[in-house]
A and B are shown apart, each in its own frame.
Chain A
Amino acid sequence: MTLSILIWLPLALALVAALAPARSVGRVAALLSLIPLGVAISFVARFHMADPALQFVTDKVWIGALGIHYKLGINGLNVSLVLLTTVLFSVSLAWSAMREVDRPRLYYFHFGLAESAVLGAFLAQDLLLFVAFFDLMLIPFYFLVGSWGSGERVRATIKMVIYTMVGSFLMLTAAVATGVIAAGDHGTSLNYTFSALQHLPLSRTDEDWIFLGFAAAFLVKMPITPFHGWLADAYKSMPIPAVAVFSGVVAKVASYGFLQIVLPLFPHAAHHFQVLMLIIALVSILWGTAMAFTTRDARLVIAYSSVAQMGFILLGIFSLRPQGGQGALLQMLNHGVVTAASFFLVAAAAARAGDSERLDDMGGIAFRAPVLATLFLIVTLANLAMPGSANFIGEFMILLGTFDSHMAIALIASVAVVGASFYGLRLFIRAMHNRVGGRVRSFEVRRSEAIAIVPLCLIILALAFFPQFGLSRSESTMKVAMYPAAAVGSSAPYALTGAEAALVSGRSGWWSYAPLSAVNHSPRKPRRVYIYAKTSTHRTVHQ
């Protein structure tokens, strides 16, 4: 069974579900979405933990003339995120299936396309394939917000797409430049696979501007504070199941991109911009915390807390320490589950407060809905990183890594951890306790809500007891991914095992990528990177 099946299954199943009668499309789609979940579980079960190399590799040439491969693979960095994606999509589809949806076939088609694109982005091992999936992810959400959203949905969706596409197009340019310049500098054929590019280092100046192109795309998508302008409108308008997966996994593709692409391929630039990125992360944490604490909209509390959490993840990544990266990865997993659960809980609370998501209209819901309140409490405690939760371990490791590299920034960030308990508890108390809101008609958690919230709470509890699930698989790969960037700062940052060292030190083996006869390096015109010497075959020229 190849990874292609995993990627394209959701889209195919959405098309199958469209054959069902309109009333039951949702049920069928939700049930069928368990199949990709099962496939993902089988891949996770067969994953070799100790192996830092790529596993289950599919490698086919997609566009031969440009050296673009259709290369997929699982390593420690994406294995858990793939599972998270399938889980969150199943849960969101289940939530949708219990509700009336306008134009259901189209709705579930867009969900299927979104899941395929997200899985593709996580599994792609070719730069251009990644960019293609990264942009493709946006299309279904454009329609989901614009057609099924609420409020100023068209404005919100266009704003979201423009913001994210600005980053994506810069990333496209940067990605093309990476391959072209690497091929030109080393006199090899064009190749965009991560494994090849890792062994074809760029010059310092090229690395710097290319890094900024990728950073623009990822920081907008995460989103991180100065680039978050689209967040409030888009999250406010999105249908709840869409916002759960968007915040849960789509935003994670960006932070994953930093780990999988930016750090290994552009280590000098990562080191060069480390402090800048750490400060941006810090600003994001503080600003997100402050906004989450002051907004009066329950959904925006979760949205802004995501900004703060993504700040923590960025902090961990750019600590350029394996423990920081490990913490960031664990936190991606935690935050994905917690944020999705939070959005469903906010929707459940709104359903009891006269369909208003304003905190002022809520309150006193817990009295008639103790089970719902308990679930809410579990999620809230996880969100504020209560010791004992997996989030605590994640944030702890992020701070550990940051302390190791930049102590001052880590000190400020650890103060901000406290902020999470302010906004988390404020949301919980305002919604569940306090005076009963004017229009509140509380009732116990229903089957249609429990179907999404309970599984996520169980996962939160499972991760709290067994955080190793998120850490053990990635340990080896993370050390390999971080090593080039860490090695820029100090000559021997940390010890590697034999297998890991073999992956890192393959740098001398760039010659193993044979020069293509069609492309040769130009000595005559140095500003041209390489000469495209392909001549048309079977030509007859009569003069």
Chain B
Amino acid sequence: MSTLLIAAAHVKGPHIDWAALSPFVVLAAGALVVLLVGLAGDASIRSRVVPTLALVALAGAIGTEIWRFPHAQTIVAGALRVDDLALIVDLVCAAAAAAAVLLSLRAQAPGEAGHGEFHGLLLFSVMGMAVLVSAQDLITLFLGLELLSIPLYVLCAAEYRREGSLESGLKYLIIGSVGSATLVYGLAMIYGATGQTGLGAIAHVLAGGHGTNILGDPLLLSGIALVVVGFAFKASVAPFHQWTPDVYEGAPTAITAFMATATKAAALAVFLRFFDVAVISEQTKWAPAVAALATATMLIGNVGALGQTSLKRMLGYSGVAQAGYMLSGVVVGTRLGVSATILYVVAYLLMNLAAFAVVQHQEAATGDDRIGGLSGLGRRSPVLAWSMTLAMLALAGVPGTVGFVGKFQLIHALVNGGYSWLAIILVVGAMISLGYYLRVVAAVWMSPEGTRAGVAPAAGAGGYAPIAGGSPEADRLPYPEVVVVAAVFAAATLFFGVIPGPLFHFAAHAGAAISGLF
């Protein structure tokens, strides 16, 4: 059917519903304006106005996304579908990008790369994510993925005077290209096997008795396998996760925060689209394979994080593990599974951004991101210390935080879907994760033996010790915008942990967005 539509498009352009397309339009227009203003000669315009414009564009995107929320629509000749699932993930990506803009306000990266380019690429990447999660067609899907990735390759290398950043960008470029290439091969094979590029049309062919046995058709099977590999690269699912810690460590922290949350959200959403729409009729066949991937991801990510001393590497491995948790919601192929995954994506955004804001502060203050460098943060900046604590406890899944709610819903979906064993693997992973999350909390609050006696608790408001052991970072006040990002996301972590009702309601919409699921 969609081929017919595409054929028709040659004759006469497809009807475009501009209202439904508005989030994409706002992002694209914002990116172009930001690029243009970035050419201004005055440095203060570049460093002040450009980030503000980027924030305005993101706010516009968020506004239009909220506006379109209850109106699910398939637009542009069946290429994109703007439904609740897509809009929720778009909101997550836009929020992550807004946080990244705030975190990088006084960072080096935008200055070195050029403010216009930096923020323009960021907005293009967000637009790529929006296209990817809305994609209803293999071709749009690939377009979205590339639009997402290519700006990120550049952004990772934004601090091009620093070797680590260049290395990170190059590594991401090479590995990301391999992932993309694999994905294209897979998409081509699926097209070859089914003769369709639309996700719905593929599902129709598979359900219609033509390809009744997925295992019997090597072309389709290898196509699906290659597509999984391509997605797995983006979502950093083991064993395709090796780039994650290196790239996360090298990239500018604001970009790492954006990649860790938004890219993962988009990749998980496309996992959901592909498995729960295109190949849902074969769920009993692919579910064990995806479950195996999820298992490996949870265990490898958690074990890998145990030995890390760099916060960003640790968060990278933790992100791998968390991708495993989210992937387990894909396995069951139910509405409950979709809503559990989306709930966790939102939870992951909240807890991770709070953590990355603290990392950003620490890097600005001390120049590196060792876990040990957090020592004494509890005295120097209680707000950041509590944010970090809440973020770590939430990532570990402690009750009263949004991480607990997310894990709870995943376990619920898994038990309901007949995958109780995967639920047990999930909690085993969470147990291992305590080993590294708690080390961070310990570093924040529990100064090592011997140093405690020398430091008197600060009496005044704010709790800044005038000179804490003479270390340079004690004199550096955290930037207000970093504190705001940390505090807002940590507060949300706590709020939705205690009152998760709205979040469940929100995620149930995403579950209902994919029709044909149980």
- Give the distance in Å from the alpha carbon of A532 to the alpha carbon of B446 in the complex: 45
B423-A64 in contact (CB<8A) = no
A66-B439 in contact (CB<8A) = no
List of A residues within 8 angstroms of B446 by Cβ: 146-147, 153-154, 157
The answer to whether A176 and B512 touch (CB under 8 A), given A63-B504, A64-B501, A540-B71, is no
List of A residues within 8 angstroms of B452 by Cβ: 102
B454-508 with Cβ < 8 A to chain A: 457, 459, 500-501, 504-505, 508
**Residue B192 interfacial (CB < 8 Å):** no
List of B residues within 8 angstroms of A19 by Cβ: none
List of B residues within 8 angstroms of A146 by Cβ: 442, 445-446
A169-B334 in contact (CB<8A) = no
Q: How large is the interface on A (under 10, 10 to 19, 20 to 34, 35 or more residues)?
A: 35 or more
**Residue B66 interfacial (CB < 8 Å):** no
A522-B457 in contact (CB<8A) = no
With beta carbons under 8 angstroms apart, the residue of B393, B412, B417, B428 that contacts A528 is B417
**Residue B397 interfacial (CB < 8 Å):** yes
B427-A169 in contact (CB<8A) = yes
**Residue B438 interfacial (CB < 8 Å):** yes
B411-A176 in contact (CB<8A) = yes
- Mask, A289-322, CB within 8 Å of B = 1, is 0000000000000000000000000000000000
B502 vs chain A, min Cβ distance (A): 10
With beta carbons under 8 angstroms apart, the residue of A209, A527, A536 that contacts B509 is A536
The answer to whether A63 and B518 touch (CB under 8 A), given A172-B407, A543-B74, is no
B84-A536 in contact (CB<8A) = yes
Can you name the residue of chain A whose Cβ is closest to the Cβ of B459? A22
A180-B518 in contact (CB<8A) = no
Can you name the residue of chain B whose Cβ is closest to the Cβ of A542? B73
B511-A532 in contact (CB<8A) = yes
Can you name the residue of chain B whose Cβ is closest to the Cβ of A103? B457
A528-B74 in contact (CB<8A) = no
- Mask, A524-536, CB within 8 Å of B = 1, is 0101111111111
With beta carbons under 8 angstroms apart, the residue of A65, A538, A539 that contacts B504 is A65
A102-145 with Cβ < 8 A to chain B: 102-103, 128, 131-133, 135-136, 139, 142-143
**Residue B181 interfacial (CB < 8 Å):** no
A65-B415 in contact (CB<8A) = no
The answer to whether A531 and B504 touch (CB under 8 A), given A136-B399, A147-B445, A176-B415, is no
**Residue B70 interfacial (CB < 8 Å):** yes
B192 vs chain A, min Cβ distance (A): 27
Q: Which of A158-166, A341-349, A436-444, A500-508 contacts B (4 or more CB under 8 A)?
A: A158-166
B393-A139 in contact (CB<8A) = yes
List of A residues within 8 angstroms of B408 by Cβ: 66, 128, 172, 176
List of B residues within 8 angstroms of A532 by Cβ: 334-336, 339, 416, 511, 518
A148 vs chain B, min Cβ distance (A): 9
**Residue B173 interfacial (CB < 8 Å):** no
A147-206 with Cβ < 8 A to chain B: 147, 153-154, 157-158, 161-162, 165-166, 169-170, 172-173, 176-177, 180-181, 184
List of B residues within 8 angstroms of A166 by Cβ: 431
**Residue B344 interfacial (CB < 8 Å):** no
A157-B442 in contact (CB<8A) = yes
**Residue A541 interfacial (CB < 8 Å):** yes
A304 vs chain B, min Cβ distance (A): 26
B439-A132 in contact (CB<8A) = no
- Give the distance in Å from the alpha carbon of A64 to the alpha carbon of B435 in the complex: 33
List of B residues within 8 angstroms of A66 by Cβ: 408-409, 412, 504
A177-B415 in contact (CB<8A) = yes
B416-A154 in contact (CB<8A) = no
- Give the distance in Å from the alpha carbon of A172 to the alpha carbon of B407 in the complex: 10
B335-A162 in contact (CB<8A) = no
With beta carbons under 8 angstroms apart, the residue of A65, A135, A176 that contacts B508 is A65
The answer to whether A158 and B439 touch (CB under 8 A), given A147-B445, A534-B511, is yes
B70-A538 in contact (CB<8A) = yes
Can you name the residue of chain B whose Cβ is closest to the Cβ of A65? B504
A535-B518 in contact (CB<8A) = no
**Residue B72 interfacial (CB < 8 Å):** yes
**Residue B424 interfacial (CB < 8 Å):** yes
List of A residues within 8 angstroms of B335 by Cβ: 532-534
**Residue B513 interfacial (CB < 8 Å):** yes
B242 vs chain A, min Cβ distance (A): 27
List of A residues within 8 angstroms of B448 by Cβ: 154
A69 vs chain B, min Cβ distance (A): 13
Can you name the residue of chain A whose Cβ is closest to the Cβ of B439? A158
B334-A528 in contact (CB<8A) = yes
B423-A177 in contact (CB<8A) = yes
- Mask, B409-425, CB within 8 Å of A = 1, is 10110011110100110
B329-364 with Cβ < 8 A to chain A: 334-336, 339
B73-A541 in contact (CB<8A) = yes
The answer to whether A173 and B411 touch (CB under 8 A), given A63-B501, A532-B511, is yes
B368-406 with Cβ < 8 A to chain A: 393, 396-400, 404
List of A residues within 8 angstroms of B74 by Cβ: 542-543
- Give the distance in Å from the alpha carbon of A392 to the alpha carbon of B27 in the complex: 76
A65-B416 in contact (CB<8A) = no
List of B residues within 8 angstroms of A539 by Cβ: 70-72, 512
Can you name the residue of chain A whose Cβ is closest to the Cβ of B75? A542
**Residue B430 interfacial (CB < 8 Å):** yes
A518 vs chain B, min Cβ distance (A): 9
A335 vs chain B, min Cβ distance (A): 27
- Give the distance in Å from the alpha carbon of A147 to the alpha carbon of B334 in the complex: 45
Can you name the residue of chain A whose Cβ is closest to the Cβ of B420? A177
- Give the distance in Å from the alpha carbon of A541 to the alpha carbon of B409 in the complex: 28
- Give the distance in Å from the alpha carbon of A133 to the alpha carbon of B84 in the complex: 34
With beta carbons under 8 angstroms apart, the residue of A65, A161, A173, A531 that contacts B438 is A161
B423-A135 in contact (CB<8A) = no
- Give the distance in Å from the alpha carbon of A492 to the alpha carbon of B277 in the complex: 55
With beta carbons under 8 angstroms apart, the residue of A131, A153, A157, A531 that contacts B518 is A531
List of B residues within 8 angstroms of A180 by Cβ: 412, 415-416
- Give the distance in Å from the alpha carbon of A525 to the alpha carbon of B17 in the complex: 39
List of B residues within 8 angstroms of A531 by Cβ: 334, 518
B71-A176 in contact (CB<8A) = no
B418-A162 in contact (CB<8A) = no
Extra inter-chain contacts (6) besides given A158-B442, A166-B431, CB under 8 Å: A63-B501, A135-B404, A173-B426, A177-B411, A528-B518, A531-B518
Give 27 pairs: A residue, B residue, CB < 8 Å, sorted on A: A63-B500, A66-B408, A102-B452, A132-B404, A133-B399, A136-B400, A146-B446, A153-B446, A154-B442, A157-B446, A158-B442, A161-B434, A162-B434, A169-B397, A169-B431, A170-B424, A176-B408, A177-B420, A177-B423, A180-B412, A180-B415, A184-B416, A527-B417, A531-B518, A534-B335, A539-B72, A542-B73
Name the 6 nearest CB pairs between A and B, nearest first. A536-B512, A169-B427, A132-B399, A527-B418, A146-B446, A65-B504
Binding site for B on A (CB under 8 A): 22, 63-66, 102-103, 128, 131-133, 135-136, 139, 142-143, 146-147, 153-154, 157-158, 161-162, 165-166, 169-170, 172-173, 176-177, 180-181, 184, 209, 522, 525, 527-536, 538-543
Binding site for A on B (CB under 8 A): 17, 70-74, 84, 334-336, 339, 393, 396-400, 404, 407-409, 411-412, 415-418, 420, 423-424, 426-428, 430-431, 434-435, 438-439, 441-442, 445-446, 448, 452, 457, 459, 500-501, 504-505, 508-509, 511-513, 518
